[in-house]
Amino acid sequence: GQVFTLADYKPTDFILERIDLTFELHPLETKVTARSLFHRRPGAATDAPLILDGDELVMTSLLLDGIELARDRYEETGRHLVIDGLPEEIAFEITVETMLAPANNTQLMGLYRSNGVYCTQCEAEGFRRITYAYDRPDALGVYTVHIIADKATCPVMLSNGNCIGKAGYGEGKHFASWFDPHPKPSYLFALVAGDLGVVEDTFTTMSGREVALKIYVEHGKEPRAAYAMDALKRSMHWDEEVFGREYDLDIFMIVAVSDFNMGAMENKGLNIFNDKYVLADPETATDADFANIEAIIAHEYFHNWTGNRITCRDWFQLCLKEGLTVYRDHEFSADQRSRAVKRITEVRHLKSEQFPEDAGPLAHPVRPTRYKEINNFYTSTVYEKGSEVTRMIATILGRETFKQGMDLYFERHDGKAATIEDFVKCFEDVSERDLGQFSRWYHQAGTPLVSVSTEYDADQQEFSVSLEQIVPPTPGQARKEPMHIPLKFGLILPNGNEAELDGVTGGDVTEDVLHLTERSQTFTFTNIPARPVLSLNRGFSAPINVDYTLTTEDLTQIAVHDRDLFARWQALNSLALPELTGAVKALRKGDAPTFNPAFIAALLAAAADEDLEPAFRAQALALPSESDLAREIGANNDPDANLVARLSLLNAIGLTGRKIFANLFETMSSSAPFKPDAASAGKRALRNTALTYLSFADNDPTLARETFDKADNMTDLSHALTVLAHHYPDSAETAEALEAFAKRFEGNPLVLDKWFAIQATTPGPDALDRVKSLMESPRFNAGNPNRVRALIGTFAFSNLSGFARADGAGFAFLADQVLDIDTRNPQLASRLLTSMRSWRMLEPQRAEYAKRALAKIDSSASLSVDVRDIAERMLQ
Ligand code: HT7
Ligand code: ZN
């Protein structure tokens, strides 16, 4: 297959000025007329042809300046339209007419239908499925869009920018025209037409302009859009306050659709969302759903400046908009909620998604230099590690200088397509710091491992910290240069106080940040009155693995005294990991696991500590996940042993802490009406965690069943159902509860997705049969990405013991599903396949089965580019 490389980047030979699109909508015969004005780029060859992108297009007419183009002047190559003999200096207009069948578009890229609603998805390369065009992010044009559709089925007709006209159009039809004054790349184009309800509000910007806010949803679902509207207004306000960014059109629209390949899309002025990330009320949405909606609404809105006003020069620069915008949405959520708890959930996510990616066959730099299929690079490395890299710039420069750098970025690049180099240069210019070595974070893949040792010299009152960094080899990058790793730190004295930092030799330390820049480096701190405990990588200031063996006493010191709450959580986590790995070792030798009572005591002390916020306590009690444990073990993993080890530890903690958990279960309950705010959510999280431990301690489904019956919100209801289904899968209580849940939410597919996901994550080898039989249920729909992700995706990504079961049947099942889904929706299929990215970490027999499943996919003759790319890389 074709490989696209950054080194081959070349500007277009022609410059697009404006584009005028007319859509005559019909499910099977939509006519699209695209009139584009171009002129030859100064300096481009005078005989260079115009080469436009296309994908599966049926072109019915082609005009140059209104006159049909002779057959010998152009060629359709399958992926391109090549036009010769175009003017050297004057502008010219190309008119392309294409015919589309949106009802048959199952890939959900380009123009498609979702539940009777016409909608588009153009990022990354969907616009070329609508018309021949410069479908690349550096070709910015001004768009005017005319939509003609049936009045009855499409009362609502939307596109980017402002509506400039609407009127009747012949029998039973009408048209609407939209004009977007902001030049934009084709990937930000959007169109929606259908019969939708709307929720309306307004926002007054910091300069006093009134912006109309509209959220379109299916009729009857309007009340469930209220939270999204509130989140939108908070996002608009926050971006003004924190980044000084004001919205720039008279109207901002969001449309919720039920068939969508990703979470949402930031089309200029017309964001299109997966309805999962818009619709919420206490009865149907969990606290996690509310938090996700808030984050994704903010993320897409923030793209208006980081992505839309300043876009990417090419898709290699994807992290320029995605990493930065994730950083911005993380900061927003941290300001809206508890910063420490938000950071803990982010790091948990980073470690469970991005770290395995960076450690496996799909590892790639945050700014890749080659791809076969760009859709496969919307990864957690580009998004989440990209955000961490931005966070590190802020850490190195400090808050104020970082803000100056952002201001310069907005000023210098507004209205343009930029690169990572442009972005970094803004921070170099404001700080006068050389960020050359730091930029390796964009270019070198792999999670750095920093090994730490410390020494205290009581006579000299000196404390030395020796650090050594290794960046592991990754595909295509065998050798790595040392990184600039900013490590927030503190020295905790035996009395729990923080040591004052007086002098340091051996490297650069700015305030509370230690800058590791060499392969190995020793920092020596002077005037340290007693042996301190080093608290390192506070706030997870750098996305690294740390190898630093602290004693249980030292970790407990951090867990109890660190002024950084994140570091306290990290210490508890570090205490838990050896308990789990020890248990795995014992189990694999046939012994019963045993646990260190000091660890259990430290954890229970945190659980009972009323000075700590409930959400933090819930996070501490959540323990490292099975995937964290698998990563810690590294190679030769046995998911069954990992599962049993974790359950045994939960059981031991539940038994020892029974009283504490019973007390928490009582005191964290509330009779007040449901509120989705972070503090209320934290109490629910702690109470539900207590329920899990009590259920372990008592080995009895009664309390979970009672909680299920009494629950007045989806968080409590779905948690109780999870406890029942996971721990008592064969009990009558569970069967009744599952049935009651499904009956109650019949007709609400987003809630039934929870029902699918809970059953798909039932641990152990029986889960596969459950998943297979659920696929036969009339509630399942293999054509809808949310259903597929809820059942098959959750099984493959989140049920390690069920999916990687010893006989390889889970992998074989996934291979068949990937092959089947690939015929309809390659993006969805290739994403599902990435669930096997850590297959080489499994014990040899399971790894062999995984390899066979991958080989089966790879040997299929009719694969999409998307799936072939992933399968090949996984086998390399
Ligand atoms: N920028 C958006 C990416 C996206 C996307 C990419 C490929 C295929 C379908 C897609 N839908 C949305 C989402 C975002 O990061 O905001
Ligand atoms: Zn984004």
What SS3 string covers 257-285?
A: ECCCCCCEECCCCEEEEEHHHCCCCCCCC
Ligand 2 centre distance from Cα of residue 322 (Å): 5
- Collapsing DSSP to helix, strand or coil, 418 comes out as strand
Give which of 703, 694, 571, 592 is closest to 641, Cα–Cα. Answer: 592
- Collapsing DSSP to helix, strand or coil, 482 comes out as coil
Q: Exposed, middle or buried, 850 (CB in 10 Å: 0-12/13-18/19+)?
A: buried
Ligand 2 centre distance from Cα of residue 321 (Å): 7
| Burial annotation 101-128 (CB, 10 A radius, 16+ → b, else e) | ebeebebbbbbbbbeebbbbbbbbbbbb
Q: Is the CB of 265 under 6 A from ligand 1?
A: yes
Choose one of 262, 326, 827 to mutate for the ligand 1 pocket test, by most ligand atoms within 8 angstroms of C-beta.
262
C-alpha distance across the termini of the chain, in Å: 15
Q: From the first residue on, what is the mean pLDDT of each consecutive set of 10 residues in the chain (876 residues)?
A: 96 98 98 98 98 98 98 97 97 99 98 98 99 98 98 98 97 98 98 98 98 98 98 99 98 98 98 98 98 98 99 99 99 97 98 98 98 98 99 98 99 98 99 98 98 98 98 98 98 96 97 97 98 98 97 95 97 98 98 97 97 98 97 98 98 98 96 95 98 96 97 98 97 97 97 98 98 98 98 98 98 99 98 98 98 98 97 98
- What pairs with residue 76 in β-bridges? 81
Strands 117-121 and 191-194: antiparallel
Q: How far apart (Å, rounded) are the C-alpha atoms in residues 261 and 526? A: 56
Q: Is the CB of 322 under 6 A from ligand 1?
A: yes
Q: Which residues contact 145 (CB under 8 A, 6 or more apart)?
A: 20, 21, 22, 23, 159, 160, 177, 178, 179, 180, 189, 191
Closest residue CA from atom 13 of ligand 1: 265
Closest residue CA from atom 11 of ligand 1: 262
Atom number, ligand 1, closest to the C-alpha of residue 261: 9
Closest residue CA from atom 8 of ligand 1: 123
Compute CA distances 565 → 29, 338, 430, 613, 703, whole Å.
59, 11, 31, 10, 32
Q: Exposed, middle or buried, 208 (CB in 10 Å: 0-12/13-18/19+)?
A: exposed
The whole-number pLDDT of residue 443 equals 98
Q: Exposed, middle or buried, 43 (CB in 10 Å: 0-12/13-18/19+)?
A: exposed
Among the options 125, 300, 384, 579, which is catalytic?
300
**Cis (ω within 30 of 0) for the bond into 124?**
yes
Q: Are 119 and 191 in contact (CB under 8 A)?
A: yes
Q: How far apart (Å, rounded) are the C-alpha atoms in residues 579 and 602? A: 13
Q: How far apart (Å, rounded) are the C-alpha atoms in residues 4 and 320? A: 18
Strands 197-204 and 191-194: unpaired
Q: Which residues contact 496 (CB under 8 A, 6 or more apart)?
A: 557, 560, 561
Say which amino acid occupies 138.
D
Tokens 């402002």 belong to which residue? 162
Compute CA distances 365 → 442, 463, 714, whole Å.
6, 36, 39
Which helix or strand (DSSP H or E) is residue 614 part of? helix 614-621
518 part of the active site: no
Q: How far apart (Å, rounded) are the C-alpha atoms in residues 229 and 236? A: 11
DSSP classification of residue 516: E
Cα atoms found within 13 Å of the Cα of residue 842, Cβ hemisphere only: 23
The radius of gyration computed from the CA coordinates of the chain, to the nearest angstrom, equals 28
Domain layout of the chain by residue ranges: 1-195, 311-443, 449-548, 748-876
Closest residue CA from atom 6 of ligand 1: 123
Q: How far apart (Å, rounded) are the C-alpha atoms in residues 439 and 512? A: 22
Q: How far apart (Å, rounded) are the C-alpha atoms in residues 581 and 58? A: 59
Instruction: Give me the helices (H) in 362-480, please.
Output: 380, 386-397, 399-413, 420-431, 440-443
- What pairs with residue 173 in β-bridges? 150
Tokens 């721990």 belong to which residue? 727
Q: Is the CB of 384 under 6 A from ligand 1?
A: no
Say which amino acid occupies 393.
I
DSSP track, 396-415: HH-HHHHHHHHHHHHHHHTT
Give the CATH number of domain 748-876. Answer: 1.25.50.10
Ligand 1 centre distance from Cα of residue 123 (Å): 6
Q: Is the CB of 124 under 6 A from ligand 1?
A: yes
Atom number, ligand 1, closest to the C-alpha of residue 827: 8
Which helix or strand (DSSP H or E) is residue 228 part of? helix 226-243
State which fold the 311-443 domain adopts: Neutral Protease; domain 2 (1.10.390)
Closest residue CA from atom 12 of ligand 1: 265
Which helix or strand (DSSP H or E) is residue 535 part of? strand 533-536
Ligand nearest to C-alpha 112:
1
Which tokens in the block code for residue 678? 């972070």
Q: Is the CB of 373 under 6 A from ligand 1?
A: no
State which fold the 449-548 domain adopts: Immunoglobulin-like (2.60.40)
Q: Are 72 and 55 in contact (CB under 8 A)?
A: no
Tokens 């009990």 belong to which residue? 731
Q: Are 624 and 577 in contact (CB under 8 A)?
A: yes
Interface confidence: ipTM more than 0.95: yes
Q: Is the CB of 300 under 6 A from ligand 1?
A: yes
Atom number, ligand 1, closest to the C-alpha of residue 300: 16
Which helix or strand (DSSP H or E) is residue 647 part of? helix 639-656
Ligand 2 centre distance from Cα of residue 526 (Å): 46
Q: Hey, how many other C-beta atoms are within 10 angstroms of the C-beta on 387?
A: 27
Q: Are 559 and 616 in contact (CB under 8 A)?
A: no
Ligand 2 centre distance from Cα of residue 326 (Å): 7
Which tokens in the block code for residue 638? 């046995």
Choose one of 123, 186, 381, 831 to mutate for the ligand 1 pocket test, by most ligand atoms within 8 angstroms of C-beta.
123
Q: Domain 1-195 has what CATH class?
A: mainly beta
- Collapsing DSSP to helix, strand or coil, 702 comes out as helix
Closest residue CA from atom 2 of ligand 1: 265
Q: Beta-strand (E) ranges in 85-172?
A: 92-100, 110-114, 117-121, 141-150, 156-159, 162-168
Dihedral of CA 134/136/140/141: which sign?
positive
DSSP track, 104-120: G--S-SEEEEETTEEEE
Q: CA torsion 784→790→795→796, rounded to 10°?
A: 60
The torsion angles phi and psi of 140, rounded to 5 degrees, stand at -95, 130
Q: Is the CB of 299 under 6 A from ligand 1?
A: yes
Choose one of 293, 373, 378, 383 to mutate for the ligand 1 pocket test, by most ligand atoms within 8 angstroms of C-beta.
378
Ligand nearest to C-alpha 129:
1
Which helix or strand (DSSP H or E) is residue 74 part of? strand 74-76
Ligand nearest to C-alpha 321:
2
Q: Are 273 and 255 in contact (CB under 8 A)?
A: yes
pTM for the full predicted model: 0.99
The whole-number pLDDT of residue 1 equals 85
Q: Are 134 and 50 in contact (CB under 8 A)?
A: no
- The percent helix, strand, coil of the chain (3-state, each to 5) is 45, 20, 35
Ligand 2 centre distance from Cα of residue 371 (Å): 19
1-195 and 311-443, same CATH topology: no
Give which of 599, 554, 369 is closest to 452, Cα–Cα. Answer: 554
The whole-number pLDDT of residue 363 equals 98
Ligand 2 centre distance from Cα of residue 318 (Å): 9
Give which of 336, 287, 291, 293 is closest to 684, Cα–Cα. Answer: 287
